[in-house]
Structure 1
């Protein structure tokens, strides 16, 4: 296991490895060094370049013709040279991405998202009320692992009794052995959803699966048609996975960051109107997705160095969000900070379609928690980080409440 002290003091040179569990515990000292000493970094062991400054990450994500998504957005997937099925929106390039994103945008509307707010609150109450007075509460196991899949299940039309099993299966596909790359063979399997889609075809309802079954769109060839069954399965798999994992991590980080900043938590208790801004700051300060990868489709120059076609570029979102050039004193947490375009949800063509939903869930969760538990401390010795190389967050975050 690599000596973290050597990594951050420079005695072994600047080193960053997304699979290194010691770095993952607190990557921000390494990010600071990368921004100042190696704004273009190359990891020879895993074969990727990385940029860490806000301006470089923002610019790179805004060049979809150079840094393409069609080979995957994770190092392991790009290396595997997988042919993704149509509908894996996050791993597509125009023109097929344009057609599929337009279709999903028409189905996954702000109206549908806002309409389920009362049901999200109802679930929070059911999850949290039995814990009031117990003196204990786990942000992840009691809420973060349940609320996002319940929400996506409401939108998709998946029975509540089945939602937890599907969430656990998706979570398991993203897990890695400590220090090891992710296994990619089954990551996009839509098998859990096929029966639901077949049933919904004969029993339509007011949900996203029904809308996807009935939606007509113009595909990348200009043909007006409906989605195939396989495309719908893929869509549902992508929506469910994207909406579950990262939002759960956001809820966990809300608990940890506000435990570390009790004075700012007290301000939120006294004035809940500050909560939306606090969620934005948590998303900047501890983004669940720390980085996103792209395949380099043509030679390009970064910081005076030519990055050859066929390379992998890693955009370090977690580093960019703390870059003092864009956010003064970026390593400080401040719920009053004026957030200007954090890179947490990406940028440009692949800006996350679920950003509004994640913000809504984060806000509701924090509002409902603070109503019941105005103060808490994390049992640090019992808290565990999740072993994934794709998102960073807590597996368990037990707290003592009062």
Structure 2
């Protein structure tokens, strides 16, 4: 009897999923979970191909396994849960927020936000990579871009986190009839209509585009509210988890951390290796929309839910040399943490910017630290893997 078992809600597996991922790649690269009725792929080549195939592998039912299986009513504007051509239209509109030029212009502001998080802690004997940095910096950055007042940012962050929180060992509950809610931005949008400013809401209120019916128009309020909810949720939750892994992994590799202190030019590549080694978003899901699809000579039937295991692919020795070793000198071999193809993460430039600046600023203040794992607490979500706390002893 084959004892190989995997599901993304198993708390024991999730503590360290990499041995299970290795077995999946070797023994069952196309895996079927009978208990929860989903398929999974784990090898780099298969994951890469699946991400590039939006025609057969649809995002229209969602990109979270529980959502795909629930098949909820999806409101217009959840562009991460759309297929071309509608996805292309909406992605192009939101993409103007994440151009390289705009990202370069953000650098000084993000650095000042980071300094504001860290400077009050200098002189103390500890700080928390998640509570003091991961919870604050992404929200302040998204808040600035979107136009969310500082006083309201904690409630937006809490809602973004609550949406993805599941009970340990259980799938995320999905309300089939009211899956996605953008109501938290209703007041901001109404206020910005009367008080335009230099922020994303003002820009999106004014943009004209040709919709899928060929009509040139501006965004409907309901579409705009959903856009903002998607951007806030994705930008706050996944990026925030990156900082917890930053603290833990670099504490476990002090020699490489010293290299970063001595040569800050390596920090960008260190962030890429961190994203490969411990991706905050370990998997995405798709719906097999039309015909059966085949991976490794095995058929995944039309109508199936397919879990695409990004974190498993990122450790595939068929693609990466010595993949279970953290190596800041690794030549880029194309980790899949941000996806591929039509649904490549729009916020990737911003996440990279925040990660690089945060690590630069931390190392300037604390070139060494030890993590207090007795005080570290995992964040129990099935879709975002990381920590609620990662305390570090400094000084």
TM-score (norm 1): 0.95
Shift of 1:187: 5.5
- Which of the numbers 65, 72, 75 marks the counterpart of 1:82? 72
What residue is the counterpart of 2:367 in the other structure?
374
Equivalent residues of 2:260, 2:267 under 8 A apart? yes
Task: Quote the Cα distance in structure 2 between the aligned partners of 1:350 and 1:46.
Answer: 25
What residue is the counterpart of 1:317 in the other structure?
310
Equivalent residues of 2:98, 2:350 under 8 A apart? no
Task: Quote the Cα distance in structure 2 between the aligned partners of 1:159 and 1:261.
Answer: 38
| 1:339-394 C-alpha deviation (Å, 9 max, x unpaired) | 12210000001000000000000001101111111111111111111010001001
What residue is the counterpart of 1:308 in the other structure?
301
Shift of 1:334: 0.2
Shift of 1:122: 1.1
What residue is the counterpart of 2:51 in the other structure?
61
> Aligned Cα RMSD in Å?
1.2
- Which of the numbers 83, 88, 94 marks the counterpart of 1:104? 94
What residue is the counterpart of 1:260 in the other structure?
252
SS state at 2:374 partner: helix
Equivalent residues of 1:89, 1:100 under 8 A apart? yes
Indicate yes or no: 2:94 matched with 1:120: no
What residue is the counterpart of 1:6 in the other structure?
none
SS state at 2:307 partner: strand
Task: Quote the Cα distance in structure 1 between the aligned partners of 2:211 and 2:298.
Answer: 38
Shift of 1:164: 1.6
Aligned length: 392
Indicate yes or no: 2:146 matched with 1:156: yes
What residue is the counterpart of 2:27 in the other structure?
37
Equivalent residues of 2:98, 2:349 under 8 A apart? no
What residue is the counterpart of 1:3 in the other structure?
none
What residue is the counterpart of 2:212 in the other structure?
220
Task: Quote the Cα distance in structure 2 between the aligned partners of 1:20 and 1:314.
Answer: 15
What residue is the counterpart of 2:234 in the other structure?
242
Task: Quote the Cα distance in structure 2 between the aligned partners of 1:168 and 1:192.
Answer: 11
What residue is the counterpart of 1:229 in the other structure?
221
Task: Quote the Cα distance in structure 1 between the aligned partners of 2:361 and 2:179.
Answer: 33
Moved over 4 A (4+): none
Indicate yes or no: 2:341 matched with 1:348: yes
Is there any run of 5+ residues in structure 2 with no aligned partner, and where?
A: none
345-354 or 115-124, which deviates more = 115-124
Equivalent residues of 1:252, 1:397 under 8 A apart? yes
Task: Quote the Cα distance in structure 1 between the aligned partners of 2:265 and 2:58.
Answer: 39
Task: Quote the Cα distance in structure 1 between the aligned partners of 2:169 and 2:180.
Answer: 22
Equivalent residues of 1:108, 1:208 under 8 A apart? no
What residue is the counterpart of 2:14 in the other structure?
24
What residue is the counterpart of 1:136 in the other structure?
126
Task: Quote the Cα distance in structure 2 between the aligned partners of 1:248 and 1:148.
Answer: 6
| 1:132-186 C-alpha deviation (Å, 9 max, x unpaired) | 1211010000110111011000100111121122101211121111111112236
Task: Quote the Cα distance in structure 1 between the aligned partners of 2:359 and 2:179.
Answer: 30
Is there any run of 5+ residues in structure 1 with no aligned partner, and where?
A: 1-10
SS state at 2:346 partner: coil
SS state at 1:380 partner: coil
Task: Quote the Cα distance in structure 2 between the aligned partners of 1:108 and 1:363.
Answer: 16
Shift of 1:110: 2.5
1:329-348 matches, within 5 Å, as: 329-348=322-341
Equivalent residues of 2:288, 2:302 under 8 A apart? yes
Shift of 1:80: 1.3
Task: Quote the Cα distance in structure 2 between the aligned partners of 1:113 and 1:208.
Answer: 14
Shift of 1:12: 5.5
Shift of 1:124: 1.3
- Which of the numbers 185, 198, 210 marks the counterpart of 2:190? 198
SS state at 1:382 partner: coil
What residue is the counterpart of 1:183 in the other structure?
173
Task: Quote the Cα distance in structure 2 between the aligned partners of 1:216 and 1:63.
Answer: 29
